[in-house]
Amino acid sequence: MITAGPATLIRASAPARDHCPRRGRGPRGRRLRLRPVDPRTGMPRVGMVGGGQLARMTHQAAIPLGQTLRVLSVSADDCAALVTPDVMIGEHTDLDALRAFAQGCDVVTFDHEHVPGEHIRALAAEGHAVFPAADALQYAQDKALMRARLAELGIPVPAFAVLESGSDPAQAVPAFAAEHGWPVVVKTARGGYDGRGVWVLDSVQALAGTELSDSGRLVLETFVPLQRELAALVARSPFGQAAAWPVVETFQQQGICVEVIAPAPGLADDIAAAASALALRVAADLGVVGVLAVELFQVAPHPAAPDGLMVNELAMRPHNSGHWTMDGSVTSQFEQHLRAVLDYPLGRTDQVAPFVVMGNVLGGAADPSHLDGSPTMGMDERVHHLAARFPDVKVHLYGKAFRPGRKLGHVNIIGSDLGELRRRARLAAGWLGDGVWADGYDVHGRAAPLGPVPTADDDPGDLDGQAMLRADRPATALPDRLLGGEAVR
Ligand code: AIR
C-alpha cells in the first residue's frame, strides 16, 4: 500500500488506472455481469435502501454523474422520497419488497444499517450486486461482532464484554465495573444510533430505571478517558482502490454529532496518517465497498494504543462526519460512495480550503414555527434571515418534519479563520434549529450587537438593514462589511 498525506488519494491494492468492469473482466480476471443500465439514459441506476437524508444527498450527487438513484422508502414523506421520482414505498425488513426494489438496479446500497443480513445475502445469492456485502456490513450492524473482530485484528478498542440477551445486567454490569471501574458504558449490540441505545452508568444505582434487560444483546465497555473524538473517512471500491479524506474532529452533545472540523485542528501529521491507515486497513480487512467512517477516540498514547487512537464505531455508508465534503472537498462522500459501489475510479479527496466547519441543524426544544400554536418563524423565513446575515454559509436542509433533537439539516462553511468559521457555523445551525440567534442578534437590526451601521447608500427596504445583493450592485462590488456579516456580530 502506498501511503501519503491523508488528503491524498491512497492506493490500497490496485492502481487508479482505467478499468471498466462493464466491459468484461474484474480484478482477478473474473468475468463480471453486464450492468442493466437505466434504459432511459444508458447510465447506471443505483438502488439505496432507506429514504433518509443520506439517500437524499446521494441523489443530489447522482444527478451530475448522470445516474438514477432509486430509493426504497418507508414513507412518501421521507426526505429522499420527496426529491427522487424513482421511489418505491416498502419496508427494508420485507424481503419481497427488497427483491422488487433490486430488479433493474445495477447495484443496491444502504442509507442505514437496519436491513437484515439474511435479506442482503438472499439478494446477492439471486445475482444482485449489493455493496457493502452482508459479510462486511455485519460489523457495522452489530457492535459486539465489530468489537470482537477489530480486537482480533489487533486494532485498539476499549475493553469490552458481550452480554447475551437473557443474561442479567444487574449482575454483569457490577462485575464488569469491579474489573474495569465505573462508569460502564452499555450499548445495544444492534439498532442504536445518534445516542440511542447507549447508557453511561456510574453506579449500581444507575442501573435501576434503564431498560437494559429488554434490549437484546449488550456490549459493556470501559468509559474511555478521551482527549477528543476524531473520525477517519475512507472509501473503497471492489477493484481494491481506496481513498481517504483528511481526518476530522467531531463534537457530540447527548450522543449526537453537532459540529465537525476538517482537518482536525492541531492533529500531528503522523497521527493523522496513522488514523487514515487504520481506517484503510479496516476497510480492506473487512472487505468494505463504499464509504467507511471510523469514529475514533483520541487518548493519551499507551501500549495498547501506541498512536493514541481507539476505534469507537464503524459506519459503512456516507456519515455525518463527512457532510463537510459536500462543500469542502474535491469529491463529496456521496459522490465517492456512488463511484465506489459502481466500481468507478475514485475521486480526489483534497480539501478545497484550509478549514471546513460543519454544524448540524438539530430541532430545538420547540418548533419555532409553532411557538404558541401559530406560525411565528417558519424555516423558510429562518433561511431567509440566515442568507442575509451570512451569505457564505452553505445550507443543506433535509425536508424533515420537526422533532426536538432531530437532525433537520446541516450547514457548511469554508475558509481560513477557524475561530470565525466555527462562530458562524454555530450561530447559523442554532438559528435554523431553534429560531434563536445565540448571540442576541436581532433580525430586524434594532438591537444587533455591533450591527451594521446603515449608510445613505443602503436601500431602506433591505432586509434586516443589510444591503441586498442586487443586480445593479453585484456581490463583488459590495464592501466587505456588507458581505457575510464581517461587521454583523
Ligand atoms: N442515518 C442512518 N444512520 C444514522 C443516520 N443518521 C440517517 C439515514 C436515515 C436517517 O438518518 O439517512 O434514513 C433517519 O433519520 P431520522 O431523523 O428519521 O431518525
For 371-406, what is each residue's pLDDT tens digit?
554 446 889 999 999 999 999 999 999 999 889 999
Q: What angle do CA 127, 280, 358 make, to 5 degrees?
A: 100
Q: Does the CB atom of residue 112 touch ligand 1 within 6 A?
A: yes
What is the bridge-based pairing of β-strands 218-222 and 184-188? antiparallel
Alpha-carbon distances of 427 from 327, 419, 423, 436, 439, rounded to whole Å:
18, 12, 6, 9, 8
- pLDDT at position 370 is 65
Name the residue ranges covered by the structural domains of the chain: 21-130, 159-222, 355-487
- Where would I find the beta strands (DSSP E) of 300-425? 309-315, 355-362, 394-397, 407-415
pLDDT surpasses 70 at 475:
no
**Span of 70-79, 408-417, 436-445 with lowest mean pLDDT:** 436-445
- CA–centroid distance, 112 to ligand 1, in Å, is 7
pLDDT at 37: 87
Report which DSSP code applies to 302. Answer: B
Q: State pLDDT tens for residues 204-230.
A: 888 887 777 677 899 999 999 999 999
Q: What is the pLDDT of residues 314-349, one digit of tens each?
A: 999 999 999 999 999 999 999 999 999 999 999 999
Residue 17 pLDDT greater than 80, yes or no: no
Rounded to the nearest angstrom, the distance between the alpha carbon of 436 and the centre of ligand 1 is 25
Q: Which residue has a Cα nearest atom 11 of ligand 1?
A: 52
Taking residues 280-306, report their average pLDDT. Answer: 98
- Ligand 1 atom closest to the Cα of residue 320 is 6
Minimal CA–CA distance to 251: which of 295, 309, 307, 199? 295
Q: What is the average per-residue pLDDT within 471-481?
A: 36
* CA nearest neighbour of 425 among 360, 339, 476: 360
Task: State what percent of residues in the chain have pLDDT above 90.
Answer: 72
Class of residue 266 by CB neighbours under 10 A (exposed 0-12, middle 13-18, buried 19+): exposed
| pTM (predicted TM-score) | 0.88
Q: Which residue has the higher pLDDT, 32 or 195?
A: 195
Average pLDDT over residues 222-243: 97
Of 450, 449, 447, 481, give the one whose Cα is nearest residue 466.
481
Is 406's C-beta closer than 6 angstroms to any atom of ligand 1? yes
CA distance 479 to 459: 14
Q: Is the pLDDT of residue 8 over 80?
A: no
CA 262 vs CA 108, 147, 248, 349: distances in Å: 30, 27, 5, 12
Higher pLDDT, 368 or 470: 368
Cα-to-centroid distance, 194 and ligand 1 (Å): 9
Tens digit of pLDDT for each residue in 86-110? 999 999 999 999 999 999 999 999 9
| 194 ligand 1 Cβ < 6 A | yes
- Give the per-residue pLDDT at 371: 56
CA of 287 to the centre of ligand 1 (A): 24
Query: Which residue minimizes the CA distance to atom 9 of ligand 1?
Result: 52
Q: How far is CA 288 from CA 135, 337, 409, in A?
A: 9, 11, 27
- Overall residue count recorded for the chain in this entry: 489
Pick 271 or 16 by higher pLDDT: 271
- 39 pLDDT tier (thresholds 50, 70, 90): very high
Ligand 1 neighbour 422 (Cβ under 6 A): no
CB 241 within 8 A of CB 345: yes
Which residue puts its alpha carbon closest to atom 19 of ligand 1?
406
Query: Is 111 close to ligand 1, i.e. is its CB under 6 Å away?
Result: yes
Is 213 or 54 the better-scoring residue by pLDDT? 54
Ligand 1 atom, smallest distance to 50 CA: 13
Instruction: Please compute Rg for the chain using Cα positions.
Output: 24
Average pLDDT, the chain: 86
> Can you tell me the distance from the alpha carbon of 158 to that of 45, in angstroms, rounded to the nearest whole number?
40
Residues 9/68, Cβ–Cβ less than 8 Å = no
In the CATH hierarchy, which fold is given to the domain comprising 21-130?
Rossmann fold (3.40.50)
pLDDT class of 411 with cuts at 50, 70, 90 = very high
- Report the nearest-CA residue for atom 10 of ligand 1: 52
Nearest atom within ligand 1 for CA of residue 51: 13
pLDDT of residue 104: 93
- Of 453 and 144, the one with more pLDDT: 144
From 112, 291, 316, give the residue whose CB has the most ligand 1 atoms within 8 Å, as the site to mutate: 112
**Which CATH code for domain 159-222?**
3.30.1490.20
Ligand 1 centre and the CA of 380: distance in Å?
A: 23
> Of ligand 1's atoms, which has the minimum distance to the CA of residue 113?
3
Best residue among 323, 334, 407 to mutate for probing ligand 1's pocket (most ligand atoms within 8 Å of CB) is: 407
Distance (Å) from CA 53 to ligand 1 centroid:
6
